[in-house]
Structure formats: structure tokens, C-alpha cells
Amino acid sequence: MSDLFVALTPPNLLACFIGTVLGTVVGVLPGLGPAAAMALVLPLTIKLGPTAGLIMLAGIYYGAMYGGSTTSILVNVPGEAASVVTTIDGYRLARRGRAGAALAVAAIASFVAGTFSVVALQLAAPLVARAALAFGPAEYFAFALLGVVLLANLTGGSRAKSLAMVVLGIMLSTVGMDPLGGTVRFTFDLAGAQAGLSFVAVTAGLFGVAEVLATMADPASTTPVARVRFRELYPNREELRRSVPPMLRGTVLGFLVGLIPGPAATIASFVSYGVEKKISRHRDELGTGAIEGVAGPEAANNAAAGGGMIPLLSLGLPFTPSTAVLLSGMLLMNVTPGPFLLRDHPQVFWGVIGSFYVGNVMLLVLNLPLVGVFARVATVPPRFLMPGVLVLCVVAAYADNNNLFDVWVVVGAGIIGWAMRALGFNPAPLVLGLVLGPVLERAFLQALTIARGEVSGLWASGPAAVMLAAAAVAFVAPAVLALARRSAADPV
Amino acid sequence: MGRDRWSAAGLALLAIGYLFAARRYPLDTLTTPGPGIAPLGSGLALLALAVWLFIVAGSVRPAHAAGGLPEIRVAPTCPTESAPQRPGSRTALLMCGALVLYAGLLPRLGFLGSSVALVVVSSRLMGLEGWWRPAVLALGVTGVAYLLFARWLGVPLP
Amino acid sequence: MRHRLAFAVALVLAAAAPASAFPDKPLELTVLFGAGSAADLLARKLAELAGRDLGQPVTVVNRTGAGGALGYTYVKGQPADGHALVWNSNSISTAYHAGNMKLDHTAFAGVAALTSEPVSLAVKADAPWKDARELLAHARANPGHVRLGNSGRGSFTHLVAVALENRAGVKLTHVPFGRELAVTTVLGDKIEASVQLPAEIMAQVTGRQVRVLAVSGDTRLVSLPDAPTLREAGVDLTMTLWRGVAVPKGTPETAIARLERAFTQAANGPEFRDFAARMGAVVDVRGAKDFDAFMARDDREIAALMEQIGLRKQ
């Protein structure tokens, strides 16, 4: 335990600082993921030795979650997949002149969640890791299906429309190589389409480019934000007070979802938003620029990043591309994660855990002053800002996979996104479908094969059966309630 | 026929086209399920939802008239009325054209050339007057993007 | 002014010794898999070492998609002057035969095959089967009962599992997974065994959560000294995943020779050997001359296996 203070030695502090700064940069810039940045600095970290090296890699990993919300809030372009939900209320807040408040709350939420998840990691890792293994394909399928049903109507409005958008997202996710490998689908002989529709390109288009087009179509909709005074850059007491409950809820949810394989941070942010939409005291304001819509999801994605460390450290199982790079780094430094990590390398284990505490403080200290700088971006008049947003979206789409086809995707998604808004469809459920589509398909097919073709294998286990039943109830309930209400309103 | 009914019809057409294109992916057996299952399932689901939307879209209006709960559609800052009828929509349509042109020219002109052009065109469309202000903005934006991504972060921009 | 001077110098050099002018600008090595994957890390290490020798940086760029087809197609579209390289592997055959691209191995000229990785057959640590013989005997007595998680339909690990079925005369149930999830599912007791590249399972082996019953190489792995080869376990099967560097066909011989020297030296050095061992790979160098014939032989083998599982489209 005293090894925790290993993180405070100057070289380790420096490694932590460099890592978190790099992570922030990668998080702020859309199109660049933490995994790519970690792979780039991996050779350097190996030379630093296991403790400092892993501290730096981990710093990039959780630092990226801090920066992800910046462009979401300022220009409606998600910096990371996990910050898509933050655009919904974050961008509206920025348009109302509360960009600073949103950015600061995002940083604080990240800090709270990051710190909580280390505590939980430290106390409960081996115990919780076992639970993660209980999730096989059948359970994962049930979980994802429940997610689709519960979260489809994330932004309110017509359920039919929202569900249609989710399914459209799932359909878009089937473009390219199928998730189990073997068959390339719906590419219509376009070589560039084989990689599928890049998530970064689709979100940059649906949110960023579409926003630019909407601004052009209706210049009155985005009056330039008035210059704000310094005191107004930061959240006021009311905003902070309202952020606390969603932050705490988001932290717990995010941590739990983080234990599950797959795009956990993204799913966690959606789950948190969905929960706030249902139970927050200010749920009616969500979607119009409520601080809860930033606090909850930003806490959730950071907590999920912390939760994702548990399967890695206690079982050696990386569930995301970033944790996979961390694992490679560990193997190259002759540190094997798993049940014996603590026994064989206490210095490394506690050093990394300790650096989480230090790193989260560093990130908070780093990000809060940046709020002042970034918040001014929101006050730039659209005619200067929007052309820059376009270039940012295009570069992000290309940088994701160095594939020119993705530039077509971002342009196409932008035009379609603009049309969708005009027709009253919200793009957020579509993104949910895009994330969960491959998860659903993969888990469904695997569950069938594992059950050797018995369809009952899908609900053979307790947790899977409960989740499937809940999904069925959640699907039917609104219709039944509406019917009941109608018959109560005008008795036959 | 209202806006939502047209949307429903469009979605139904999309679903049918998608299902049609999905025919060539095999379903295989239950033990070794094939790559055709997910497309079939999602295509049928969208078709069903389109029908649902079509029916709901017809019944919503009377509910409104009867003083039922007003339907919250999208976040208020989204333009809910059909944007393409406003005067600004011409500008936006021009921008769409410029974007398509940009994607086509990118491999030929390279990132720097085509992005400078894109920023000049879009800032003029946004109402930035004159020529040299858009030009300075274009050089600035493109230059920063190039330095940041290509130079420091090693993205091989075209 | 400086540019003009440099240009003049380059001209003189080009006239004097055309061979030594290569490489005259940074090289780009396209990796077909994501940043941070085992394939990517091996490529990055080699690029770093070879770049030092070549006097020009070798930049690694990830172009992922369609089992490698996207990256192969991209590199093939670049000028055949030796500056566009691809970190290739058996994926050139799997992607072609699966119908994902129009190019096959003949569209490229091999520079050198550099590493190989066997496939590991593993079960959970407390599984009832002591060794590969017992597992295969169980599979023979109960056809289809043993569920084997591979890393994707038509992936190399899947093909090895199919070849294992053929040679051992057993019937297995193949469950396609992505990367690490096959091991996760073994640990969760949902399937009996996994076929994975060693890098994907090394942590669980050292953590004593799984046991590797056999590896598919012709010798044991240094990093898994206790795991016998399949041949030792009585199955006549050797299959390894090779990786190497290739360039578009038509690249000048001199450039290929220069690249071959740089990359084989990099791979043979102690620094890379050590690096590769920790990633579960073996340095297995084959020069440009043998590489093309080797790819052709491997391609036929893969085509036959893909035919058998109904994934061969061309």
C-alpha cells in the first residue's frame, strides 16, 4: 500500500503529466483515438521502464476521456465516441452562452468519476472481475437489446421515429466486413467502403457538418453568443448543485458498464443520459440545454474507462482497443497482468493506481484554466467559426483510418443529417444503433452457435432471461399505458 | 399527406431496397448462422417501424385537436419546420454542393489546396464579405489544421 | 535556394549511382490492423529499426478494414517505386479467397518474410483434459461437443481449427469471436477451448488461468516452453501465420534488394528477436527470392481450407 507513493517520485510525476497532457490533446481533437496515440508512444514508454511507462500510457487512456467533451460542447463535433451524447445538451448550453459552465462541469464530472473508479478499482477489483466473466454472448445480446429498447427514445418525441433511427443506425453498421469476419456487405464494389462507415465520420457529419448547414439555412437560429465576463465563464452555484446527483449516478452506472466487453464508455454515456431523462428532477429540460445532460454522461464515460481497467488488471483481458495497447505494453515490459500482478509487481500495480489519483488531479488543474480559453471559441461569430468546423470534421473523418472514402461519408452524413433535422428526426438514436448494431449481431450469432443451434440458449441463463423479459416489457409498456390513458380519458 | 407520412414512405422504400440488396447474403443454419441474418432482421424491423410511423402520423393530428398531450418532437433549437423553404436554404444547398465538390477534388488538389478553397467558399456563403478576409481565414484554418494533424500528430493528409 | 541546391545534389547522385539514391524520401508502411495490435507493434518496431538503416524514416500508417483488403488495395494503388510498403501476412490469401478484394498475392512482390506466429490451442486451467490427446479423444467420442473459439470466420485461427479437424479426424463446433473475447468466454465457462495467436493469451497463461495444450508451429515457443507442438501431441499438422513486407509488383529490383537488406537485418538483430518473443512471435526470415514461391504455396493451402468451410468465393 505504501507503494502508492511511488507515483509521487519526480520521474513518475513527469510521466503522468506527459501522459495526461497527450491524452487531453488526443481527446480534444476528433478523429484521433487514445489507442493510436498510445501505440505511437509505446516505444518510448518501454525505455522508461514498467512503472513510469505504464503510468504514461494510462495517463493517455483516461486523459482522452477528459478532452472528449470539448469539441462536443463548443462546435457540436464529438471528440470521442463516448462524447456523442454530450453534444445534445452541451452544445445547446454553449449556444446559450454557458459553454464555460458546461466545460467546467464536464471536467469536474470526469474528475469525480475518475477518482471514484480508482477507489473502486483498488477495493473491489478481483471480486468484480469475476462478475464480468459471467457475461457471455447470450447475456450480452440480452443486455444490448434491453439497451436499444430503453434508450431508443433518449431525446423524447415520437417513439416510432426514434426506434426507426436506431434501426437505421443498425443497418448502417452492417456496411463493410461483418462483425464475425468472412463477408463484406453492402459495399457495392467501392473499395473504400470495405472498412465500413467510420463512426467518427458519421458522427462528425451528422452533428458537426449538419449543424453548419442548419446555421446557413437559418442564420437567425444561431445568434452569436455575447462576450461573457470572466465570472460567468464558470458554473454558478445553481448549476453545480444540479450537477451533483447526475454525476454520482453516472459514475456508478459507468463503472458497472465498464466491466462489460465492447464499446463500454459510449454505452455508459447513453445509459446515463437515459437514466437522467427518466428520473432527473429537471428531466423536462434535458435536450434543451440542461447541465445534467453534460454531468451524467461525462461522469459515466470516465467511470467506464476506470471500470475497464479491472478486467485488464485482474484477468489480463482488454475489452477495448486502448486497454489492448496497455496490455501489449505490459507484456513488452515483462509485467503480466492477472491474479499475480499484485504479488509479482507491487510497485507497478500500486504505482499505476497511485498515478490515477495524481493524474485525475492534474487533469482537473489542467482542464479548468483551459475552460476559459475554450469558452471563448463559442463567442467567435459563426461566419468565422463554421468554416473551421467544416475543416475539422473532414480532417477528423480522414485521420480516423487514413481512408479517403471517409471524407465522402462525412459529407454525406452531414447532408443527410441536415435533412433529418428538417424532417424532425434526431440523430442521437441513430448513433446508438450504430454502436450497438455490431454488438447485437455478434452476440446473437455467437449465442446461437454456443447453444449448438438451440434458440432457447438465448434465455437459458438467469440474467439473460431477466434482461430479455425486461426488454419485452419496456417495449410494450408505453403502448399499453397510452391505451389505458386514452380509454380513461374518453370512456366508451 | 403530412411530413411524417412522407418520411415513413421514404423509410419503407429504403428498407425494401436494403432487403433487396441483402438477398445475396446467406442465412445458413441455426448452428452456424450466416451474415444474412442481421440485415434481414434490421430490414424487416425498419419496414415494420415505417408502417407504424405511417399509422401514428395519421392519428396524431386528431389527438392534438382534442387537446391531448402535445408531442415533443426534437430539441427546440433544431429547426422543426421544413427548412428548405426558407431563403437561407439556398445558401445551405450551395454549401452541400461545395462539400460534394470538395470530396471529389481532395485526391486531386491535395488537402491544402482543396481546404483553402472550402473555407473561402463557406465563409463567403456565411456572409463574410470581400475576398481577403476569407482568404486570410482560409490560410489560417488550413495551416493550423495541417500543422496540428500532419506535422505534430503524423496523420498523412492527402 | 537551398531546395535548388538539394535538387542539384539529388540529380548528380541519381546520375552517378541510381541504386544508392533509394530511398530518397520517407517510406510508408501500411499496417492492415489497428494501432496497438500485435501485428501493428511488430511492424512499428521493425519500421523503427529498418528506418535507421535506410537513412529515411519508415512511417507506419494503419489502414484497417475488410480483413486487410482495404490496405492491400491502397498500397497496390501507390507508385511502384519502393516507398509504399505493406506489412502483409496470410491475410493476403484469406482476404482474396473470401472475395473481399480483386488482388491476390501475385499483385505484390515479396521483400522478405520476417516473423511467424503459431496458433495456440488452450483450455481453462481447471478443465478436465490434461493434454491435447485427451481433448481430441473427447472430441472424437462426442462429435461437435467441443466448442472452439477462434478469432473470426475465415480468419487464420479458424482455418487452423478446420485443418486440425481434418488431421485429427474429429468434429468441432467453431465459434467465431473477435480478438480477446474468445479467451474471455473460455474463462467464463461458456465454451471449452480457444484457438488464438499466442499474444492474445499470454497474460492468461502466465496468470495460470488457462493452459495451452498445443501450438501449431514446428517447434515449441520460447515464451511457452511447456506447450508441445501439435506434432508432439500426435497430430500431423504445422501451420503458422507469417508476416512480412511486400511492395506493389513492378518495383525495381534494386529497391527491393535494398529494402530486403534493411528489414532482414532489423529482424535478425537481438533487439527485435527479444521484442518478437514477448509478443509470442518467432523471427523466421525468408528472402525476397523464396518469399514469392512461399506465398504461392501457402495460398493454395489456404484456398483449399476455405473451400472446405464454404468461404471461398474466388
User: What would the DSSP string read from start to end of B39-82?
Assistant: HHHHHHHHHHHHHHHHHHHHHHHHHHHTT-PPPP-S-TTS--S-
Cα distance between the two ends of chain C: 55
Q: What's C82's domain CATH number?
A: 3.40.190.150
Query: What pLDDT shows up at residue B79?
Result: 42
Question: Looking at the 3D structure of chain B, how many domains does it have?
Answer: 2
By the CB < 8 Å criterion, does B32 face chain C? yes
The interaxial angle of helices A137-151 and A462-489, nearest 10 deg, is 20
Query: What pLDDT shows up at residue A295?
Result: 95
Residue at C254 is within a domain: yes
By the CB < 8 Å criterion, does A469 face chain B? no
Q: Give the residue with greater pLDDT, C171 vs A332.
A: C171
- What single letter denotes the amino acid at residue B90? R
Q: How does DSSP classify residue A2?
A: G
By the CB < 8 Å criterion, does B31 face chain C? yes
By the CB < 8 Å criterion, does B156 face chain C? yes
If one counts every other C-beta atom within 10 angstroms of the C-beta of residue A112, the result is 23
Rounded to whole angstroms, what are the CA distances from A446 to A180, A253, A458, C176, C190?
9, 26, 10, 7, 11
Of A390-394, B57-61, C100-104, least confident by mean pLDDT is B57-61
Q: Are the Cβ atoms of C61 and B32 closer than 8 angstroms? A: no
Prediction ipTM score? 0.86
Mutation for testing the B interface, residue in A60, A148, A380, A390 having most B CBs under 10 Å: A390
Phi, psi of C17 (to 5 degrees): -145, 90
Handedness of CA A316, A320, A324, A325 (dihedral sign): negative
Rounded to whole angstroms, what are the CA distances from B34 to A183, A329, C311?
9, 36, 11
Q: How far apart are CA A314 and CA A339, in angstroms?
A: 5
Q: Are the Cβ atoms of A176 and C275 closer than 8 angstroms? A: no
Of B28-37, C128-137, C249-258, least confident by mean pLDDT is B28-37
Residues C111 and C253 placed together within one structural domain of the fold: yes
Residues C135 and C83 placed together within one structural domain of the fold: no
Mutation for testing the B interface, residue in A216, A380, A486 having most B CBs under 10 Å: A216
* CB environment B10-26: b (16+ within 10 A), e (fewer): ebbebbeebbeebeebe
Helix (H) or strand (E) holding A417: helix A405-422
Query: What pLDDT shows up at residue A462?
Result: 87
The interaxial angle of helices C270-278 and A321-332, nearest 10 deg, is 130
Q: How far is C10 from chain A (nearest CA, A)?
A: 30
Residue at B74 is within a domain: no
Handedness of CA A219, A222, A224, A226 (dihedral sign): positive
- What single letter denotes the amino acid at residue A17? F
Residues B56 and B93 placed together within one structural domain of the fold: no
Residue at C256 is within a domain: yes
If one counts every other C-beta atom within 10 angstroms of the C-beta of residue A465, the result is 15
Q: How far apart are CA A374 and CA C287, in angstroms?
A: 54
Mutation for testing the A interface, residue in C181, C191, C274 having most A CBs under 10 Å: C181
Which range marks the domain in which residue C198 is found?
A: 120-215
Chain C residues with beta carbon closer than 8 angstroms to that of B32: 174
In chain A, domain spans? 2-489
Q: Nearest 5 degrees, angle CA A104-CA A108-CA A111? A: 140
Query: Which grid coordinates belong to B89?
Result: 436554404
Cβ(C186)–Cβ(C193) below 8 Å: yes
Cβ(B31)–Cβ(A452) below 8 Å: yes
Nearest to A42 among C41, C144, C174 (CB): C41
Of A475-479, B23-27, C283-287, least confident by mean pLDDT is A475-479
CB pairs under 8 A between B and C: 6
Burial class (CB within 10 angstroms; exposed 0-12, middle 13-18, buried 19+) of B59: exposed
Q: How does DSSP classify residue A178?
A: -
Q: Give the residue with greater pLDDT, A218 vs C257.
A: C257
What is the DSSP code string of A47-103?
Answer: HH-HHHHHHHHHHHHHHHHHHHHHHHHHHS--SSGGGHHHHHHHHHHHHTT-HHHHH
Of A90-94, A249-253, A381-385, A391-395, least confident by mean pLDDT is A381-385
Q: How far apart are CA C56 and CA C80, in angstroms?
A: 17
Q: How far apart are CA C240 and CA C217, in angstroms?
A: 6
Of A67-71, B9-13, C16-20, C253-257, least confident by mean pLDDT is C16-20
Query: Which grid coordinates belong to A127?
Result: 471480486
Q: How does DSSP classify residue A193?
A: G
Q: Are the Cβ atoms of A287 and B103 closer than 8 angstroms? A: no
Residues B95 and B140 placed together within one structural domain of the fold: yes
**Model confidence pLDDT, tens digit, residues A323-338:** 888 988 888 888 888 8
Query: Which grid coordinates belong to C91?
Result: 491475410
Of A195-204, B36-45, C139-148, C177-186, least confident by mean pLDDT is C177-186
Domain boundary pick from B65, B95, B110: B65
**Model confidence pLDDT, tens digit, residues C143-166:** 999 999 998 888 899 999 999 999
Mean pLDDT for all residues in chain A:
88
The whole-number average pLDDT for the span A98-102 is 91
By the CB < 8 Å criterion, does B101 face chain A? no
Q: Give the residue with greater pLDDT, A394 vs C35.
A: A394
* DSSP β-ladder status, C120-124 and C210-215: antiparallel
Residues C195 and C132 placed together within one structural domain of the fold: yes
Residues C211 and C257 placed together within one structural domain of the fold: no
Per cent of chain B over pLDDT 90 is 36
Rounded to whole angstroms, what are the CA distances from A122 to A70, A128, A387?
29, 11, 46
**Model confidence pLDDT, tens digit, residues A11-66:** 899 999 999 999 998 888 887 888 888 988 888 888 888 899 999 999 999 998 88
Chain A residues with beta carbon closer than 8 angstroms to that of C44: 39, 42-43
**Model confidence pLDDT, tens digit, residues C85-110:** 999 999 999 889 988 888 888 899 99
pLDDT over 80 (residue A491): no
Query: Which grid coordinates belong to C5?
Result: 541546391
Residue at B71 is within a domain: no
Residues C275 and C194 placed together within one structural domain of the fold: no
Q: How far apart are CA A44 and CA C46, in angstroms?
A: 15
Residues C107 and C245 placed together within one structural domain of the fold: yes
Cβ(A77)–Cβ(A68) below 8 Å: no
pLDDT over 60 (residue B81): no
Q: How far apart are CA A91 and CA A287, in angstroms?
A: 10
Q: How far apart are CA A321 and CA C23, in angstroms?
A: 33
Residue at B77 is within a domain: no
pLDDT over 60 (residue A1): no
What is the SS3 assignment for A477?
helix
Nearest to C59 among B31, B32, B154 (CB): B154
How big is chain B, counted in residues?
158
Q: How far apart are CA A429 and CA C239, in angstroms?
A: 45
Query: Which grid coordinates belong to A311?
Result: 478486467
The whole-number average pLDDT for the span B27-35 is 87
The model's confidence at residue A225, banded by pLDDT at 50, 70 and 90, is low
The whole-number average pLDDT for the span A158-177 is 91
What is the SS3 assignment for C193?
strand
Per cent of chain A over pLDDT 90 is 39
Domain boundary pick from B34, B65, B96: B65
Query: What pLDDT shows up at residue A2?
Result: 67
Nearest to B79 among A167, A218, A399 (CB): A218
pLDDT over 70 (residue B86): no
Question: Looking at the 3D structure of chain C, how many domains does it have?
Answer: 2
pLDDT over 50 (residue C307): yes
Q: Are the Cβ atoms of B31 and C28 closer than 8 angstroms? A: no
Mean pLDDT for all residues in chain B:
80
Query: What pLDDT shows up at residue A53?
Result: 92
Nearest to B141 among A387, A402, A404 (CB): A387
pLDDT over 90 (residue A374): no
Query: What pLDDT shows up at residue C308?
Result: 87
Q: How far apart are CA C49 and CA A356, in angstroms?
A: 33
Find the residue in A nearest to C60 (Cα).
A40
Residues C108 and C161 placed together within one structural domain of the fold: no
Q: How far apart are CA C50 and CA C62, in angstroms?
A: 18
Residue at C230 is within a domain: no
The whole-number average pLDDT for the span C276-289 is 90
Query: Which grid coordinates belong to C99?
Result: 472475395
Q: Give the residue with greater pLDDT, B3 vs A227.
A: B3
Q: How far apart are CA C256 and CA C81, in angstroms?
A: 9
Cβ(A72)–Cβ(A87) below 8 Å: yes
Query: What pLDDT shows up at residue B66?
Result: 36
Q: Give the residue with greater pLDDT, A241 vs A155.
A: A241
Query: What pLDDT shows up at residue A231?
Result: 67
Q: Are the Cβ atoms of A325 and C191 closer than 8 angstroms? A: no
Q: What's C128's domain CATH number?
A: 3.40.190.10
How big is chain A, counted in residues?
492
Cβ(A313)–Cβ(A126) below 8 Å: no
- What single letter denotes the amino acid at residue A96? R
Chain C residues with beta carbon closer than 8 angstroms to that of A33: 35
Per cent of chain C over pLDDT 70 is 93
Q: How far apart are CA C305 and CA C100, in angstroms?
A: 17
Cα distance between the two ends of chain A: 71
By the CB < 8 Å criterion, does A47 face chain C? no
Query: Which grid coordinates belong to B114?
Result: 482543396
By the CB < 8 Å criterion, does C143 face chain A? no
Can you give the C-alpha Rg of chain A in angstroms? 22
Q: Give the residue with greater pLDDT, B70 vs A290.
A: A290
Q: Are the Cβ atoms of C183 and A137 closer than 8 angstroms? A: no
Query: What pLDDT shows up at residue A227?
Result: 62
Cβ(A273)–Cβ(A296) below 8 Å: yes
Q: Are the Cβ atoms of C203 and A336 closer than 8 angstroms? A: yes
**Which of 138-177 (A) contact B at CB < 8 A?**
155-158, 160-161, 163-164, 167-168, 170-171, 174
Q: Give the residue with greater pLDDT, C310 vs C108.
A: C108
Nearest of A98, A187, A166, A155 to residue A274 by alpha carbon: A155
By the CB < 8 Å criterion, does C204 face chain A? yes
**Model confidence pLDDT, tens digit, residues A198-219:** 889 999 999 999 999 998 888 7
Helix (H) or strand (E) holding A249: helix A237-258
Q: How far is C304 from chain A (nearest CA, A)?
A: 15
The whole-number average pLDDT for the span A219-227 is 64
Of A141-150, A254-263, A478-487, C222-231, least confident by mean pLDDT is A478-487
Q: Are the Cβ atoms of C59 and B31 closer than 8 angstroms? A: no
pLDDT over 50 (residue C239): yes
The whole-number average pLDDT for the span B39-64 is 81
- Does residue A11 have a cis bond before it (omega within 30 degrees)? no
Which range marks the domain in which residue B47 is found?
A: 3-65
Q: Are the Cβ atoms of C59 and B156 closer than 8 angstroms? A: yes
Chain C residues with beta carbon closer than 8 angstroms to that of B154: 59
Helix, strand and coil content of chain A, in percent to the nearest 5, comes to 80, 0, 20
Residue with cell 509485467: A335
Chain B residues with beta carbon closer than 8 angstroms to that of A40: 154
Query: What pLDDT shows up at residue C72?
Result: 92
Cβ(C117)–Cβ(C124) below 8 Å: no
pLDDT over 80 (residue A126): no
Find the residue in A nearest to C77 (Cα).
A191
Per cent of chain A over pLDDT 70 is 96
Query: Which grid coordinates belong to B156?
Result: 498523412
Q: How far apart are CA A385 and CA C147, in angstroms?
A: 56
Q: Which are the contacts of A96, defined by CB distance < 8 A and separation ≥ 6?
A: A225, A289
Burial class (CB within 10 angstroms; exposed 0-12, middle 13-18, buried 19+) of B72: middle
Q: How far apart are CA B63 and CA A455, in angstroms?
A: 41
Domain boundary pick from C179, C200, C215: C215
Query: What pLDDT shows up at residue A369?
Result: 87
Residue at B73 is within a domain: no
Nearest to C61 among B31, B32, B156 (CB): B156
The whole-number average pLDDT for the span C176-205 is 87
pLDDT over 60 (residue C19): no
pLDDT over 90 (residue A465): yes
Q: How far apart are CA A322 and CA A325, in angstroms?
A: 5
Residue at B123 is within a domain: yes
Query: What pLDDT shows up at residue C243?
Result: 95
Nearest of C83, C111, C86, C84 to residue C25 by alpha carbon: C83
Chain A residues with beta carbon closer than 8 angstroms to that of B157: 395, 398
Rounded to whole angstroms, what are the CA distances from A383 to A70, A219, B129?
20, 10, 10
Q: Are the Cβ atoms of A184 and C66 closer than 8 angstroms? A: yes
Query: Which grid coordinates belong to A189?
Result: 464494389
Chain A residues with beta carbon closer than 8 angstroms to that of C181: 261
If one counts every other C-beta atom within 10 angstroms of the C-beta of residue A302, the result is 36
Which strand ranges, in their side-by-side order, compose the sheet holding C173-176?
C173-176, C147-150, C193-196, C120-124, C210-215
